Chains A and B, each alone.
Chain A
Amino acid sequence: AQSVTQLGSHVSVSEGALVLLRCNYSSSVPPYLFWYVQYPNQGLQLLLKYTSAATLVKGINGFEAEFKKSETSFHLTKPSAHMSDAAEYFCAVSAIQGAQKLVFGQGTRLTINP
């Protein structure tokens, strides 16, 4: 079985500060990993995904994430936060083989302080 744990249901940073959202996964097989963002009253939008190529993955809006197998982590970072980054962020895991079923973490709400 696969699972995802997002550390911190709520993260608050100042505008211009580093954003770090933590995600740890559990999987018995090599996983694919994803970060999605959900803005208020909108659907989920893919930020980036890891599919066993480069371990450092760059996504949209200046976000990136690094796959660390030894730590079973896939933390999301952005060097400088913008007010527009305020949203809910979800980490998700999927098995490489078989039916693609995204298993999501509980989400982290990111607040940006001016």
Chain B
Amino acid sequence: DSGVTQTPKHLITATGQRVTLRCSPRSGDLSVYWYQQSLDQGLQFLIQYYNGEERAKGNILERFSAQQFPDLHSELNLSSLELGDSALYFCASSVGVGGRNTIYFGEGSWLTVV
């Protein structure tokens, strides 16, 4: 158990819909990351937040957005869903922002778009 909690674990929804994935980081961690894992794209970095502020952006679509709340939990919002958005979405956390920090991953949220 990494200490990173993600909900829901599984989600099936229709094209065009909107979903929200939730993440609680490890106790004491200020950084939260979101990654997408799919068969064709592999593991892709989406976005990073540190103590409520966006710190880095990766290959995140405009239809996707995220935020980190004052209690440090984070949400990833996916809208106008397409079949290609079906993937495993990981949340991860670390203490700080430096490259030396260990990043701990949650077990992921499986999203299936039908």
Contacts and interface: CB of A to CB of B under 8 A. Distances in A.
B50 to A, nearest CB: 8
> Number of contact residues on A: which range applies?
20 to 34
A46 B94 CA distance: 12
A105 B55 CA distance: 22
Interface in B25-84: 31, 33, 35, 42-43, 45, 48, 55-56, 58
Contacts, number: 62
Contacts of B94: 100
Given A43-B106, A100-B31, A100-B48, A32 B55 contact: no
B108 to A, nearest CB: 6
A99 B48 contact: yes
A61 interface: no
Contact of A94 (B42, B43, B55, B99): B99
Interface string B77-114: 00000000000001010100111111111111000000
A45 B105 CA distance: 7
B108 A43 contact: yes
15 contacts: A32-B100, A36-B105, A44-B92, A45-B105, A46-B103, A96-B98, A97-B99, A98-B56, A99-B48, A100-B97, A100-B103, A101-B33, A101-B48, A101-B58, A105-B42
Given A98-B99, A100-B99, 4 more contacts: A51-B99, A99-B48, A99-B97, A102-B35
